[in-house]
Amino acid sequence: CKPVAADYGLLKTIDVPVTAVCGDQSAAWFANGRPRATSAHINIGSGAFVLAGLTAARAPDGLLTSIAFSDTDSCEYLVEGTVNGAGSALQWLQSVRDMPAVDTHLNDWLQQTGNPPLFLNTIGGLGSPWWRHDVEPCFVPAMDKHSDAELAVAVIESMLFLLQYNIDQILLQQTLLDLRLSGGLSRVPLVCQKLANLSELPVYRSVDPEASARGIAWLAAGQPQQWLTEATEGERFQPQTDPGLKARYRLFVETLSERLEATA
């Protein structure tokens, strides 16, 4: 075993030294250099996760503890919340509904759809803090009562609701003042805005969505202080009042809890 920062030797086909090795979530944490202690990082790809620096003795119940960085002298830890169904949930919807690719329509659909149904997003199983694989995904009301746009928006909101539930668990033991967002779905402006509205925290969208590649490069380079400091903030989405979204979130949590109890 070696720490994150260590001499791992050279790449086999070319003499390039490997000086840092870690998982993609931990790498994404350092996408813009060292984050502030009051920031959380969210990446939304096929799955999604939320990371924050661990400031307590342990992570909240049901969330994960992982190593952010280590060398021969020190070790830093993260608290991690995991959502399995993000981009993969949209792919599932396209398959079961026989829909065309939704990417080019998402922002318009999010703008136009004011009261979507709920989607109990268990694609790939429920991640933290439930860790359940025995609940089938479903729309409430049923799928056949809604348009493609309404269903797609319900899936997007379900991702945000699951992320927000994990954020709520982190907030029980530490302070968060802003969220950093990266990944493919962060390219959709209204995904960013809805997350800001739901969390009531400013959301900064990364200039470069490839957060993991940037983060491991920074660690491998020895954590240089001048790491593109002008790009650390990205585009800012300020929270706006959205009572409908907040009400759907509360109903989502209640409905999911009832479904989990019924299948326990």
Span 133-167, pLDDT tens digits: 999 999 998 888 899 999 999 999 999 999 999 99
- For the chain, the average pLDDT equals 92
Determine the Cα–Cα distance for residues 105 and 110; give it in Å rounded to an integer.
9
Give the whole-number percent of the chain exceeding pLDDT 90: 73
CA 184 to chain centre: 11
Beta bridge partners of 49: 43, 82
* Residue 233: pLDDT over 80: no
Q: Where are the alpha helices (DSSP H) in the chain?
A: 24-29, 87-97, 106-112, 148-171, 189-199, 211-220, 243-262
Q: What is the mean pLDDT of residues 110-137?
A: 95
* pLDDT in the model for residue 89: 95
Q: Are 47 and 124 in contact (CB under 8 A)?
A: yes
Q: Are 154 and 119 in contact (CB under 8 A)?
A: yes
* Residue 121: pLDDT over 70: yes
Q: Are strands 138-140 and 178-182 parallel, antiparallel or unpaired?
A: unpaired
Determine the Cα–Cα distance for residues 48 and 85; give it in Å rounded to an integer.
7
Determine the Cα–Cα distance for residues 205 and 258; give it in Å rounded to an integer.
34
* pLDDT in the model for residue 34: 86
Identity of the amino acid at 183: G
Place of tokens 């969208």: 205
Structure tokens given for 74: 């020190």
Beta bridge partners of 42: 50, 181
Query: Which tens digit of pLDDT belongs to each residue from 179-229?
Result: 999 888 999 999 999 999 999 999 999 777 677 888 999 999 999 987 765
Q: Are 4 and 70 in contact (CB under 8 A)?
A: yes
Provide the total of helices (H) and of strands (E) in the chain, helices listed first.
Answer: 7, 9
Report the interhelical angle of 189-199 vs 243-262 (nearest 10°).
80
Determine the Cα–Cα distance for residues 155 and 84; give it in Å rounded to an integer.
12
Q: Are 134 and 61 in contact (CB under 8 A)?
A: no
Closest among 89, 85, 93 to 151, alpha carbons compared: 93
Determine the Cα–Cα distance for residues 203 and 209; give it in Å rounded to an integer.
14
72 Cβ contact list (under 8 Å, min separation 6): 3, 6
Query: Which tens digit of pLDDT belongs to each residue from 28-69?
Result: 899 888 888 899 999 998 999 999 999 888 899 999 999 999
* pLDDT in the model for residue 230: 45
Determine the Cα–Cα distance for residues 247 and 235; give it in Å rounded to an integer.
27
